């Protein structure tokens, strides 16, 4: 019987070991031998088949408690050249692999599809979606595995920062991972009751935005908080915001890392430090001084031990992936919707415009986002409509109400004045 190989690629996420363990157990009970491909596609793409380990029930039955990856992981991408892709396929054939389970994000899903097409059905391929960004377009708002654990651990970190902020009268600008979407930043910010949370989806209709606009948005939170007598606060910021800000503005404050094609590497931009500096400058222009500290959350949450939700969820995913592929399934992503396994074909995952898997963004028109937004302490349209509130915040900024309106009303000018308080 052909072997089943399991490979984890991309960045770590809590729950990888649960998928590996459950898939291995399901396959072994069906009499299918299982191989663990070490370090992602790093070695296979070089034609090296020595970095492979047999997986057994005894080896994997208790690995689901721990974070990280039992078989390692890497971002090596065999599609970077036809030669590397062919070496990968040849290596799998030499290993007598007839079934491949890939664990990864949208990039790995694309790679899985390419391998499936290239082998013309000889190699069955099933993908298990993994990313703490939660941005793979799964059905019915189903989270990607690892997201709930990452949020949980992130919340614990930010809870401590909130106590520190209040104790020391300072502000923390916390940057949460999320290349394109703001799910993790919003999930942490909403759960802890952060002073403000800013995500890229807010600016989707007007991207790119001036850096000064984002600076005013954050300065507005500091000023509003001061108006209520508090010199401290916590802001959650999605790293994908860097992609929404005018790059020429960013370039005045930091070097923009680019790849060989000239594309900006968002994750490598020191967004927190840039915003810390520009907001300090904005406040100083008003005669205000605040202690601002930037903090990044990403590596701390990627390899955390999974919480029970993700242990349960990922064991379902691993079992379903192995069962589906052993029974003849292929070219699909595994999804669990309302407790039921649902395969999503690689073709259905594609965005016709890009040819890559669709990215799931935060729906800013949803009640879940609107409720989160209603609790944020940021300048709102109603603050400018109430003379007593306008006077309060203007005084905190050392401005007249008229001058305050002139400098900050641009933040809310497009905000609808709905009777139920919803914002766009």
Angle between helix 308-326 and helix 16-29 axes, rounded to 10 deg: 40
In the β-sheet with 292-297, what is the strand arrangement from edge to edge?
196-198, 233-238, 171-176, 292-297
Question: How far apart, in Å, are the Cα atoms of 167 and each of 164, 170, 193, 230, 365?
Answer: 5, 8, 17, 11, 36
Cβ proximity of 2 and 97 under 8 Å: yes
Other C-beta atoms lying within 10 Å of the C-beta of residue 34: 25
Beta bridge mates, 197 = 236
DSSP-assigned letter for residue 12: -
3-state class (DSSP) for residue 81: coil
Question: How far apart, in Å, are the Cα atoms of 416 and each of 196, 323, 363, 420?
Answer: 19, 50, 17, 10
Question: How far apart, in Å, are the Cα atoms of 198 and each of 187, 188, 235?
Answer: 11, 12, 8
Give catalytic status of residue 133 as yes or no: yes
- Cα separation of 202 and 380, whole Å? 14
SS3 content of the chain, % helix, strand, coil (to 5): 45, 15, 35
Could you write out the DSSP letters of every residue in 128-195?
EEB-TT--B--GGGPPPBTHHHHHHHHHHHHHHHHHHHHHHT-EEEEEE--SS--HHHHHHHHHHT-S
193: region left, alpha or beta (phi > 0 left; psi from -120 to 50 alpha):
left
- Cα separation of 192 and 155, whole Å? 6
Q: Choose, from 133, 216, 310, 383, the residue flagged as catalytic.
A: 133
- Cα separation of 318 and 401, whole Å? 60
* First-residue to last-residue Cα distance in the chain: 57
Active site residues: 133
């Amino acid at each position: 019987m052909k072997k089943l190989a399991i490979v984890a690629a991309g960045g770590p996420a809590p729950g990888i070991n649960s998928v590996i363990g459950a898939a291995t157990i399901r396959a072994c009970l069906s009499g299918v031998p299982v191989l663990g491909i070490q370090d992602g596609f790093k070695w296979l793409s070089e034609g090296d088949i020595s970095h492979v380990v047999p997986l057994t029930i005894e080896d994997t039955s208790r690995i689901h408690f721990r974070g990280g990856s039992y078989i390692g992981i890497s971002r090596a991408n065999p599609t970077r050249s036809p030669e590397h892709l062919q070496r990968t396929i040849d290596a799998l054939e030499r290993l007598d692999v007839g079934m491949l389970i890939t664990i990864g994000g949208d990039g790995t899903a694309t790679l899985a599809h390419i391998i499936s097409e290239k082998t013309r059905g000889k190699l069955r391929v099933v993908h298990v979606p993994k990313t703490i960004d939660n941005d793979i377009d799964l059905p019915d708002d189903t989270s990607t595995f690892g997201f709930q654990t990452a949020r949980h651990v992130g919340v614990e970190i930010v809870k401590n920062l909130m106590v520190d902020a209040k104790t020391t009268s300072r502000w923390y600008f916390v940057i949460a991972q999320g290349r394109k979407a703001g799910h993790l930043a919003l999930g942490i910010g909403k759960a802890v009751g952060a002073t403000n949370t800013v995500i890229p989806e807010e600016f989707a209709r007007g991207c790119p935005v001036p850096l000064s606009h984002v600076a005013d948005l954050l300065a507005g939170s500091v000023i509003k908080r001061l108006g209520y007598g508090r010199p401290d606060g916590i802001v959650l910021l999605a790293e994908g915001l860097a992609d929404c800000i005018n790059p020429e503005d960013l370039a005045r404050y930091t070097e923009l890392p680019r790849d060989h094609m000239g594309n900006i590497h968002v994750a490598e931009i020191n967004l927190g430090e840039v915003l810390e500096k520009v907001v300090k400058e904005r406040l100083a222009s008003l005669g205000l001084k605040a202690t601002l500290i930037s903090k990044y959350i990403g590596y701390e949450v990627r390899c955390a031990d999974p919480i029970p939700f993700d242990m349960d969820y990922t064991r379902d995913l691993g079992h379903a992936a192995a069962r589906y592929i052993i029974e003849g399934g292929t070219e699909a992503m595994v999804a669990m919707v309302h407790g039921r396994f649902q395969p999503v074909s690689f073709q259905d995952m594609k965005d016709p415009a890009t040819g890559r898997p669709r990215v799931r963004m935060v729906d800013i028109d949803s009640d879940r986002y609107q409720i989160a937004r209603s609790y944020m302490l940021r300048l709102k349209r109603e603050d400018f409509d109430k003379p007593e509130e306008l006077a309060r915040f203007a005084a905190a900024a050392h401005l007249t109400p008229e001058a305050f309106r002139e400098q900050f009303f641009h933040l809310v000018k497009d905000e609808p004045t709905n009777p139920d308080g919803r914002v766009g």
